[in-house]
Structure 1
Amino acid sequence: MLMHTHEARLDALRKQLAKDGLDGFVIPISDEHMSEYVGAYAQRLEWLTGFGGSAGTAVVLANEAAIFVDGRYTLQVRDQVDGKLWSYEQVPQTSIAAWLGQHAPRGGKIGYDAWLHAKGWADGVAQALAQREATLVPVASNPVDAVWQDQPAPSLAPAVPHADAHAGKSANEKRADVAEWLSAKGLDAAVVTALDSVAWLLNIRGADVDRTPVALSFVIAHADGTADLFIAPEKVTPDLTAHLGNAVRIQPRDAFVPALRAMQGKKVAVDPERAVAAIFQALESAGAKIVPLTDPVVLPKAIKNPVEQAGHRAAQARDGAAIARFLRWIGDEAPKGEVTELSAADRLQAFRAEGGLLKDLSFDTISGAGPHGAVVHYRVSEETSRTLEPNSVYLVDSGGQYVDGTTDITRTVWIGPDAPPAEVKDRFTRVLKGHIALARAVFPKGTAGSQLDSFARQYLWQAGLDYAHGTGHGVGSFLAVHEGPQRIAKSAGGQAGTGQELFAGMILSNEPGYYKTGAYGIRIENLVLVEAREIPGAEGEFFGFETLTFAPIDRALVDQALLLPEERAWLDSYHAQVHSKLAPQLAGDDLAWLEAACAPL
């Protein structure tokens, strides 16, 4: 009999823990690759609790249970997870280690799956538990899997070559670069575990994770330029074998741990942020010398080459035309009171698909009407879908996966027919001013994303307002929509990537926002490319941003009295560029709408 209620699932897990001799267990949203978005087989937290966000962790003890989320999910977790069964815990204000340090039974055994957690996390939790004479125990098999009767199997979709015409650099050249890096550091090999790193290094793509075109696999890259790819044999096609060539040995995925255990005496680079604890444990037991270093693929992947940059521009222009057609449709249809969050998201996907080049969405569309717009990472469902009511705010954050680029754009629009209230226009314009300030930023070489974050927040801060998410994330090339190592965010709380120096060729989002709980949400998001800036008389190298995303910003929501002359000039110039890029792709009513939407203020 399948367990339909989350209470029954929690009860079944507690019984399994007792059977396994455990006093508690930690359940993250994660897979063996520390992915942000995971395959259906790895959605253990959602199955157990009902929480559908992309970041969160639960802890189950015999008599209590807690779920940990960050500020993006404060509202969503309360909507989706039963407060009678779970206490809601907010990070970074608290942590799993701190909570267990107070709640774990004295002398207890807390289980964790070493294939789903970072080594640093495990070390920190073990330390906190030691204060209660409790221990953190790696489990031989995951107890959630033991009680999840209809758990899907991992995907067996084929891995496919990604053409050099889109990659801009061959896999042979990329492996040679890694080999050179290894040799320079006196290392024998690097373990590459992040799915997008494997995909980028070998120029392969897949369909194993919703919204991210990657193939479940690991790589060990060697100092002689060869590599071992560990992947399910069912995923390997003759095309893939021919593409990889003789220098890449294809091995079954279950040969990965034996290969790690065979590395006795070798000096091996492993990324503590991206490799799970189980990999460190296997190498340690083999007697390998582990050198903790950032995955050597991460930075080259983030710095887009000219071919990848050109691909992004083409994908963005195509995507912008779909967005423009959608915004016209919303403006016409939503005031009639019959468009829902779900029907709007479906219509937007249809506009993207009509071009014939859409491979997938880059994430589940955030289609938030009225108060749902205030839920930062809201995910619409049949149960939650609201109607877009006349005279309300609608926020839509969406993106597409195209073979030449990955897109991510947020637009906030006013659903008429009446004029927006003064408060909404004030908040929107403050967000816009921050967006413009970041888009116009010029900064010296060596600047990190954390140093630019306040450019986007300053006008909200002046009114005593803020938002509880980062301002910008990196974006991949037909890869992950959230790609490190660069970020634009407050550096407090030790958020990964905020200290990363920005280099020309990196792509980031520019997405300040404002959220009024129970009322509305506002976000304006474009993607930007870091580019060199020639400044007469400059002392040293300077950078700025090229805007990549082109779609109209809702002029009805702009309080023009709050804009400075240079901000008005930026918006008029931006809309002129939107018009020049999108007009050739549009006709009839769509083109007429675009001309009005892009008119100077």
Structure 2
Amino acid sequence: MDECNNAVTRITTLSPQDRLAALRARLHDAGLQGFIIPRSDEHIGEYVPPSGERLAWLTGFTGSAGMAIVLADRAAVFTDGRYTLQVRTQTDPALWECRHLTEEPATEWLKAHAQGQRIGYDPWLHAAPAIDRLAVPGVTLVPVTANPVDAAWADRPPAPMAEALPHPIAFAGKPAEDKRAEAAAELRAAKEAAVVLADPHSLAWLLNIRGGDLANTPLALGFALLHDDARVDVFMDPRKVPPATRSHLGNQVVVRPREELPAALDALRGRRVRIDAEATPAWFAERLRAAGAEVSPGEDPCRMPRACKNAVERDGARAAHRRDAVAMARFLAWFAAQAPQGGLSEISAANQLLSFRREVDRFRGESFSAISGAGEHGAIVHYRVTPESNRRIAPDECYLIDSGGQYLDGTTDITRTLWTGPGPAPAGLRDRATRVLKGHIALATARFPAGVAGPHLDALARRPLWDAGLDYDHGTGHGVGSFLSVHEGPAAFSRAARVVPLREGMILSDEPGFYATGEYGIRLENLLLVVPSTVPGAAKPFLEFETLTLAPFDRALVDVALLTVAERDWLNAYHARVLTEVGPALDGATAAWLAAACAPL
């Protein structure tokens, strides 16, 4: 027993260099010259449980998007523009090259360094198109049956075991039976016998269940087969499904251990089975084809209905944002009083906001760990404060707080950039902040014909920055779920996003920014609901946005001279609405602060 314990201790305390060496030893034993490690887990999702944090364990990089490639003599981590600063601070430059996913793509790196080599990948962790996009001449990509990272990761945490619980119809707005019937009808129309659901968001929405397997996203991790007769086989540990949930699911939904998944796919021999290739591990299509089934490419039938919130979910989002706004107003008033004194830190400020949210009805947790960045930390787009990085929030500097809440009736996400005072903000900073605000207003006030997609609108938010030769290296906005993920597809405001026409009921973020490396960061974010627009004489249907978020923008960072009359009128009207809808729920002192913060410019 002592020998075993000592062995585990030696492995669990491996240095980053030793972890890399342990992986390379296993690659050598498997006859591979390299291996690809994505950020995703078996559900191809952005958020993963501790047991799925392979990339973080191996490299030290903890961002929510990225990939590593390990060869025998070199290794690289690839991240997008949100994490270019973070990845360099979290990885050892003696071990890892840091590359930009789009400007220095992995294919070019493989082409330069892996010619003639066999590079392994785990087909459970990659969608088939993602593997196809990595293919380059002269490099052989090899699927493996046993992940060598898992073999090297001796102290890997166990899979999460939180219970799957019913999500009441009062919040879901539509019975699960109706959702299953509609999705099954879509399969029958396409002459498909079943569809693989690998995205746990689809299980949550389709079956009206929520879980606790992830820190900030209420999911019960599992897979499912939805059949053309509306039956569903759910593959997750049966211990996660208590009697009340089994009763809620009904007789047409059967919970089976994950070990039975291969046999269930084999039983579909000779049938047409839909696979959403971008959202499903490559393993599924390989297994179905090997079993003699026909793989039919198509979108997850739950994805678009989930994105287009029903009437109950829309009202829930409005109500959740009004309650969240009370917590935000209390925090902003508290911050305005405390920040000039210089006694706050990034952690203490984030904790105070969380404490205000905890007092709000129906609050179930943060929708993500708050991004609380003072000064130069605000320039790190997805900065995560730690006890080691925790910085004092000094007077007369910029502070960025990006946070959100999970409520039973909605998910919130809001960013405000604040001037700590007591002195005035510098003119250059106010110029940049006001350009970000102008871009935010331009998108929030857009009116557009049906059929327009997020990539078509992204430039509206960038125009005021482009006019000054400036830009930001992230998308302008993402979809948001209904007591689900704070990042929800398929629509987004981004040049790189899929061209998915915006539809009534979608909720997206509006969050342009500007980042001065080593100095400060600015981001201003509200959530927008897509609603019908009335345009006199319009030849086709039009859409516009309803702003859900209700919190004032910091007047100390606004250069009124840069605003047009229309922009100033919008800001004054927005602040008047915030005061009207939020003010009555506040105590006297906070209400007085809000009245001053919302006074007309």
Same-fold call, TM cutoff 0.5: yes
Structure 1 residue 225: deviation in Å? 1.3
Normalising to structure 1: TM-score of the pair? 0.97
For residues 179-224 of structure 1, the C-alpha deviation after alignment (integer angstroms, 9 at most, x for no partner) is: 1101111111111111111110111110001111001111111111
The CA distance in 1 between the partners of 2:141 and 2:375, in whole Å, is 44
| Residue ranges of structure 2 left out of the alignment (5+ in a row) | 1-9
Structure 1 residue 97: deviation in Å? 2.7
What is the aligned counterpart of 1:120 among 111, 129, 138? Answer: 129
One-letter identity of the residue aligned with 1:153? P
The CA distance in 2 between the partners of 1:262 and 1:61, in whole Å, is 39
For residues 383-438 of structure 1, the C-alpha deviation after alignment (integer angstroms, 9 at most, x for no partner) is: 11111111000001000111100000000000001000000000000000111111
* Aligned residue in 2 for 1:272: 277
What is the aligned counterpart of 2:88 among 78, 83, 103? Answer: 78
The CA distance in 2 between the partners of 1:155 and 1:581, in whole Å, is 40
* Aligned residue in 1 for 2:107: 97
* Aligned residue in 1 for 2:506: 506
Partners of 1:30 and 1:38 within 8 A in 2: yes
The CA distance in 2 between the partners of 1:65 and 1:262, in whole Å, is 41
Q: Which moved more, 1:292-301 or 1:582-591?
A: 582-591
One-letter identity of the residue aligned with 1:587? D
Structure 1 residue 102: deviation in Å? 1.9
Q: Are 1:56 and 2:61 matched, yes or no?
A: no
The CA distance in 1 between the partners of 2:219 and 2:13, in whole Å, is 31
One-letter identity of the residue aligned with 1:476? G
* Aligned residue in 2 for 1:596: 596
Q: Are 1:433 and 2:438 matched, yes or no?
A: yes
The CA distance in 2 between the partners of 1:97 and 1:197, in whole Å, is 31
Aligned to 1:431, the other structure's residue is in SS state helix
One-letter identity of the residue aligned with 1:43? E
Partners of 2:199 and 2:279 within 8 A in 1: yes
The CA distance in 2 between the partners of 1:78 and 1:31, in whole Å, is 23
One-letter identity of the residue aligned with 1:136? L
Q: Are 1:147 and 2:152 matched, yes or no?
A: yes
Q: Which moved more, 1:88-97 or 1:368-377?
A: 88-97
For residues 152-196 of structure 1, the C-alpha deviation after alignment (integer angstroms, 9 at most, x for no partner) is: 111111100111110010100000011110111111111111111
| Aligned positions of 1:443-522 closer than 5 A | 443-490=448-495, 495-497=496-498, 499-522=499-522
Partners of 2:84 and 2:100 within 8 A in 1: yes
* Aligned residue in 2 for 1:187: 192
Partners of 1:52 and 1:379 within 8 A in 2: no
One-letter identity of the residue aligned with 1:21? G
For residues 353-394 of structure 1, the C-alpha deviation after alignment (integer angstroms, 9 at most, x for no partner) is: 012522111111100100110111111111111111110000
What is the aligned counterpart of 1:88 among 98, 104, 108? Answer: 98
The CA distance in 2 between the partners of 1:68 and 1:197, in whole Å, is 28
Partners of 2:454 and 2:497 within 8 A in 1: no
For residues 41-63 of structure 1, the C-alpha deviation after alignment (integer angstroms, 9 at most, x for no partner) is: 00011111111100010011111
Partners of 2:36 and 2:70 within 8 A in 1: yes
Aligned to 2:399, the other structure's residue is in SS state strand
* Aligned residue in 1 for 2:585: 585
Indicate the RMSD between aligned Cα atoms, in angstroms.
1.0
| Aligned positions of 1:417-428 closer than 5 A | 417-428=422-433
* Aligned residue in 2 for 1:347: 352
| Aligned positions of 1:291-302 closer than 5 A | 291-302=296-307
Q: Are 1:67 and 2:77 matched, yes or no?
A: yes
Partners of 1:38 and 1:209 within 8 A in 2: yes
* Aligned residue in 1 for 2:558: 558
Q: Are 1:391 and 2:396 matched, yes or no?
A: yes
What is the aligned counterpart of 2:41 among 9, 31, 39? Answer: 31
Aligned to 1:550, the other structure's residue is in SS state coil
Structure 1 residue 585: deviation in Å? 1.5
Structure 1 residue 5: deviation in Å? 2.1
The CA distance in 2 between the partners of 1:200 and 1:344, in whole Å, is 34
Aligned to 2:102, the other structure's residue is in SS state coil
* Aligned residue in 2 for 1:9: 19
Partners of 1:158 and 1:236 within 8 A in 2: yes
For residues 287-318 of structure 1, the C-alpha deviation after alignment (integer angstroms, 9 at most, x for no partner) is: 11111111111100000000000000111011
Structure 1 residue 98: deviation in Å? 2.7
Structure 1 residue 105: deviation in Å? 4.8
The CA distance in 2 between the partners of 1:203 and 1:47, in whole Å, is 33
The CA distance in 2 between the partners of 1:257 and 1:204, in whole Å, is 24
The CA distance in 1 between the partners of 2:159 and 2:272, in whole Å, is 32
Structure 1 residue 518: deviation in Å? 0.5
Partners of 1:268 and 1:288 within 8 A in 2: yes
One-letter identity of the residue aligned with 1:311? G
Structure 1 residue 147: deviation in Å? 1.5
Q: Are 1:110 and 2:115 matched, yes or no?
A: no
For residues 481-535 of structure 1, the C-alpha deviation after alignment (integer angstroms, 9 at most, x for no partner) is: 0101101111xxxx343x1001111111010100000000001000000110112
One-letter identity of the residue aligned with 1:543? L
The CA distance in 1 between the partners of 2:208 and 2:529, in whole Å, is 22
* Aligned residue in 1 for 2:29: 19
Aligned to 1:485, the other structure's residue is in SS state strand
Partners of 1:3 and 1:9 within 8 A in 2: no
The CA distance in 2 between the partners of 1:415 and 1:90, in whole Å, is 33
